[in-house]
Amino acid sequence: MNVKSNIMDASTWSPPRRTIFVDGEKRVEKYPGMRHRHMVDPQGNMCRVPIVTAASIVVPDNYANQIMAVKLGQGWFPVDTCPLALMLSGQLMSESLDGTVRDGKPCEPGSYDIRKGCRHVHAEVAVRRGRHGVVEAERAERYKAQGEKDAEQRERHHQELLRAMTQGTKGKDKDAK
Ligand SMILES: [Zn+2]
């Protein structure tokens, strides 16, 4: 894995900027620092991944590169990148992306950002969530089946207990006579 990835190279990193309007006036503001990266996890959730080891560090260092390399290796990818471009540059394994997402051309840099993820981000998130939804439904089904089994077991136990108590009472009655 190429640790010195171009998506998080500390030497060329500069804070992202945003345009805001103050009293109708347009201003460009730098974000205070980047302490985490918004990433998509294998289940299709948007997650904030901390990339600095201390709050005092505002510029990502080598640790950030290592974290990114590990996460990319596990199939995570930043929301503000084109995952297909990452795959084609060898930073993301091809198995990490669905076949339907792997087909086609990577997006032009600048055509997407953190607010407006590229179409491959949207497609991959949908696939992952769908896949995860199926897994979750199966798990819920298994839990339900187990719950029913447990209920049956409890009912059987309850009946046995009742029987034992009834017999016990009968026995006592006999003794009393
Ligand atoms: Zn894309």
Domain ranges of the chain: 10-134
- The CA distances from residue 165 to 28, 53, 161, 162, 169, in Å, are 81, 64, 6, 5, 6
**Average pLDDT of span 157-177:** 72
Dihedral sign for Cα atoms in the order 160, 166, 168, 174: negative
pLDDT higher at 42 or 58: 42
Say what the pLDDT of residue 130 is.
94
Over pLDDT 90: what percentage of the chain? 34
Closest CA to 46 of 77, 17, 15: 77
pTM value? 0.62
Distance from residue 167's CA to the centre of ligand 1 (Å) = 74
Distance from residue 130's CA to the centre of ligand 1 (Å) = 19
Neighbours of ion ligand 1 (CB under 5 A): 82, 84, 107, 118, 120
Distance from residue 105's CA to the centre of ligand 1 (Å) = 8
Length, in residues, of the chain: 177
Q: What is the pLDDT of residues 115-127, one digit of tens each?
A: 888 999 999 999 9
Say what the pLDDT of residue 32 is.
55
Say what the pLDDT of residue 3 is.
39
